[in-house]
Every structure is written in structure tokens, then in C-alpha cells.
A and B are shown apart, each in its own frame.
Chain A
Amino acid sequence: MIQMKNVYKKYPNGIVALNGLNVEIDQGEFVYVVGPSGAGKSTFIKMMYREERPTSGQMFVDGIDIATLKNKKVPMLRRQMGVVFQDFKLLPRLNVYENVAFALEVIEESPSRIRERVLDVLDMVGLKHKARMFPTELSGGEAQRVSIARSIVNKPKVVIADEPTGNLDPETALDIMNLFEKINATGTTILMATHNKEIVNTIRHRVIAIEGGLIVRDVAGGDYGYES
């Protein structure tokens, strides 16, 4: 699903974020990405959806060559994946239903299909009854569930989550994790950057630790490995 070979990233300001990183992630895996701030985690995640581009090295996501992908083709890449962020990134002027439908409108799905899919995923995340509410009327956990619904509405093969539980209390965070488990159970690859020690140590999955732009630890079912 995801292959990185000697991926090197240097920002224009001279900072080296990734220093020859190698990794292979298979379809259907659930992977935590951990590591101290400034270790290259964010860059690693951003490369998945081509917000950043490797300076050198090879990188494939679902067979798409990220290093040489033309700007024009980036939307096609992003339609194959879902992204979830710490701050939810919902549009305040759209209600829950519209926020989720937005992802399908953008890719020009037919209205009947949009309706069907949106109601499906809202049901899955347990928010069908709040479809007409606006993001400001939702709790943090609910907002994150909407954003997860949006990320999976186009049936992506991989969901990239950047600190999805960062703004949530422990109990809500567990709810969100259960949702990711459910999504993972359908065969969707999940790649999740996190600082949440409890979650990593409780819900065991493969852990990739990044430090100084390199993978320093890669253990299936590993623990968080840092003091929180």
C-alpha cells in the first residue's frame, strides 16, 4: 500500500525533516506513527497526501509515485484516501450532512448516490440523527466523527489521521478509536500519528517511531515507548 525508499526531505529553510527513511505498509494494516515533536512525523504524514513532496528517494502510495506526481494529478491521489485532522476541519456554514456530502460533490458524484452514501456513513459513525445540526452545535467527539465520516465517504483504501484524538478527552478518544477499528476491520489501511500513550498502549497495533527524520523503531503490537 505504502512504500518509502530512502525518502529524504529538506525544507527550503535548510531543515532536514526526513533523512533517508524506509518503510513498507501493507493494505489493511493499522499503524501508529509516534515520536517527539519536530522529529519528522508531520512531514511523513503530509507526504502521504502529497502536501509535501520528497526532495529525493522513492515513494508510492497505492501504486502512485508521489515523488513525480504532477500537481494536476494530486486531486486524483486524494480521492483514493481520507484525511482526518486534530482540528476536524469542518465547514462551519454547512450542516453535518452537507459537510460529509461536500467530499462527494467535489468529485462530482450523482446526487442520489451522494445521499445514499452520506446517510450510510453517518449511520456508521452514529450521527444520523444529528444530520441537520451545524458544527458549532456539536461536541468535540461528534465533530471528529463527522470528519471521519467525511474521510471514508468515498470508500478510500487508506485513511490518514493526524492526531485525531489530540483535542478530545480520554473517553471520547476511545470512542473515536473504536470507530477507526471498525473502519480498519473493513480492510481500510489506517495510518495515525499520535501522542496518546494510553491509546497506543491499550489498543495494540504496529508502532513506527520517528526520530531525527529516521524510523528508530518499528514493532508490531509495540508500545508507545515515550514518557507522556
Chain B
Amino acid sequence: MKARTLWRHFRESLKSLGRNGWMTFASVSAVTVTLLLVGVFVLIMMNLNKVADDLENDVEMKVFVSLETDDARKQSIEETISDLPEVESAVYSTKEEELADLVLDFGNELDLFEQNNPLFDVFYVKASNPQQTGSVAAEISKIENIEKVEYGKGKIEKLFNFLNAGRNVGLVLILALLFTAMFLISNTIRITIVARRREIEIMKLVGATNWFVRVPFILEGMWLGLLGSIIPIGLVAALYYNTLEFVQPKLSGELFQLLDFTPFIYQVGGLILLMGVFIGVWGSFMSIRKFLRV
């Protein structure tokens, strides 16, 4: 295809937007509403994911070493734990350090234990995949000289189940919304194509190739998608900005945080734009197929 022809298609597609003013408006509105919903969902989903990750990363096991273990054995236990493929990190903390932590938290009354420290030496262990914490804990507890492993059993499994369910539901909702949007766009574009059936027929009768007929419609779909993504991007950005203003201060010091405004909002904006263009182009492409058989 020559550059001149491409330029012609380009102009034609823009002219057509103006000529089919109401259809353009209808398609753009449909895209706008859907992408707005999708955008808000993506905001929620990505943040839910972030919160989930933050919470998950906070999950660690406390591995108690039995009292009679000597230093050499402790050394070898540390190596054994660190060598487990599922383990991300293992940090050793002596019982003196443990007591110092307690004193820091609960006050000097605990000083009296300094003579006769009842605590254990411990390893703080993180699994590289937090969801595997349970099985890693089970494995570590089999090592000799390990008194016990604590990791909030039960509670953590519930948390993970909840987070996973949330992720899946969100994903399904986003896919369903996108599907609806494509359907809407492909229908509205089909109406503009039906109105221009004659034109397509004549083009084909004078020897236009299928691509020559198709390209202006596909470009038109692209414009519809682009136009339809402007408002959602603006609204989603404004919405998120204000949400952060409101929520961020309340979360200071919490274990989890929301995603920062940038670069997150650029990513979401780019995603909305891409989805707009994709559903526009795809919608056109699907609608025009059956009108090319002349």
C-alpha cells in the first residue's frame, strides 16, 4: 500500500467520523463508559494486589532452636535452612537479642530475666513464595534440634484464600467488561458499515482489494477507541489522586500501602488507551468481515 493511499485512508476515516456524527457519539460513549468501569476496576485490583503482596511479604516463620544446641550445630542449621530452595532468607537472632526486643516493647521490668533468660535462639525465615509458608514450615520442623516453628497457622491460610479469591473475581469482572465493550463497539461499527454497504459494494466492483476497503474502517475503529479512552483516563487519574490524598495519611505506619500515584497512573492510563484502541480495531475488523463478500 502506497503512502498516498494510506494518507487517503487516514483522511477518509476522519471524515467518516464527522459524517456519521451520531454513531460516532454512540460508539465513543459506549467505549467511555466501559473503559471507565474497567479503569476503576484496574485501580481497585492493582491496589488489592499490592496490599496482598505487602501482607504476604510480611509473613515470616519463627523457628525456635532447642536449648541444648551448640554453636557449631546452630551454624549448620542455618545453612540447612538457607539451602532449602523455597527459602528466601533466614536471619539468626540470639535469645539475648530476643530479650532486648521484648524489653524495648514492654519495659524494663523484664530486665530481671537477664540472669536467667527463658527465651530460645530463633531464626526468622521468609519463604520465597509466601503462599508456601505452611509447607516450608513443615519441612523446617523436621530438622534436628528444632524445637518448633511458628507462623500464624490457620490465619495465614485464610488470608491467602481471601486474597486469591479477590484476585480471581476481579480478573473475571475485567474480562467480562472488556468483552461487553468489544461487543458494543462491534455492533455500533456494524451499523455505520451497514449504512455504507453500497459504498463497499461499489469499491469492490471497481477492483478495490479487501484491505483497501477495510483499512479506513479499522482506522475509524481506532479513532473511536482513542476518543473513548480520553475521559476515562482523566477521570480515573482524578479519582485515584483524590483517593490517595484521603487514604494515604491514614495508612502511615500500616503494614500495607497503596500504589504511588506515579508511575502507576501512567501505566493504568496507557492500559486504558491500549484497550480502547484494541477494542475499536477489533470491533471494526469483526464487523466488516461479512460485508466484504461482494
Q: Which residues of A contact B (CB under 8 A)?
A: 49, 51, 72, 75-79, 83, 89, 91, 93, 102-103, 105-108, 111, 150, 154
Once the chains bind, are B206 and A106 in contact (CB under 8 Å)? yes
B202 CB within 8 Å of chain A: yes
Residues of A within 8 A of B205 (CB): 49, 78, 83, 89
Most buried by B among A72, A91, A105: A105
B200-225 vs A, CB cutoff 8 Å, 1 = contact: the mask equals 01111111111010000000000000
A89–B200 CA distance with the chains assembled, in angstroms: 11
Once the chains bind, are B199 and A91 in contact (CB under 8 Å)? yes
* With known contacts A93-B19, A102-B202, A107–B4 Cβ distance under 8 A: no
Chain B min CB distance to A97 (Å): 15
Question: Using a Cβ cutoff of 8 Å, how many contacts connect chains A and B?
Answer: 48
Chain A min CB distance to B220 (Å): 15
Residues of B within 8 A of A51 (CB): 294
* 29 chain-A/chain-B pairs, Cβ below 8 angstroms: A51-B294, A75-B207, A75-B208, A75-B209, A76-B207, A77-B207, A78-B204, A78-B205, A78-B207, A79-B206, A79-B207, A83-B205, A89-B198, A91-B199, A93-B19, A102-B202, A102-B203, A103-B207, A105-B8, A106-B203, A106-B206, A106-B208, A106-B212, A107-B208, A108-B1, A108-B5, A111-B4, A150-B206, A154-B207
B290 CB within 8 Å of chain A: no
B250 CB within 8 Å of chain A: no
What is the number of residues of chain B that contact chain A, defined by CB distance less than 8 Å?
20
Residues of A within 8 A of B198 (CB): 89, 91
For B12, the closest partner residue in chain A by CB is A105
Once the chains bind, are B202 and A91 in contact (CB under 8 Å)? yes
Residues of A within 8 A of B202 (CB): 89, 91, 102
A78–B213 CA distance with the chains assembled, in angstroms: 15
Residues of B within 8 A of A111 (CB): 4
Once the chains bind, are A102 and B207 in contact (CB under 8 Å)? no
B2, B4, B207: which contacts A106 (Cβ < 8 A)?
Answer: B207
Residues of A within 8 A of B199 (CB): 91
- Sample of 15 more A-B contacts, CB < 8 Å, known A78-B207, A102-B202, A106-B203: A51-B294, A78-B205, A78-B206, A91-B198, A91-B199, A91-B202, A93-B19, A103-B207, A106-B206, A106-B212, A107-B206, A107-B208, A108-B4, A150-B206, A154-B207
A98–B199 CA distance with the chains assembled, in angstroms: 13
Which residues of chain B from 185 to 244 have any CB-CB distance to chain A below 8 Å in the complex? 198-199, 201-210, 212
Chain B min CB distance to A151 (Å): 8
A80–B285 CA distance with the chains assembled, in angstroms: 29
Chain B min CB distance to A94 (Å): 9
Residues of B within 8 A of A107 (CB): 206-208
A78–B209 CA distance with the chains assembled, in angstroms: 10
For A104, the closest partner residue in chain B by CB is B206
B1-37 vs A, CB cutoff 8 Å, 1 = contact: the mask equals 1101100100000000001000000000000000000
A79–B201 CA distance with the chains assembled, in angstroms: 15
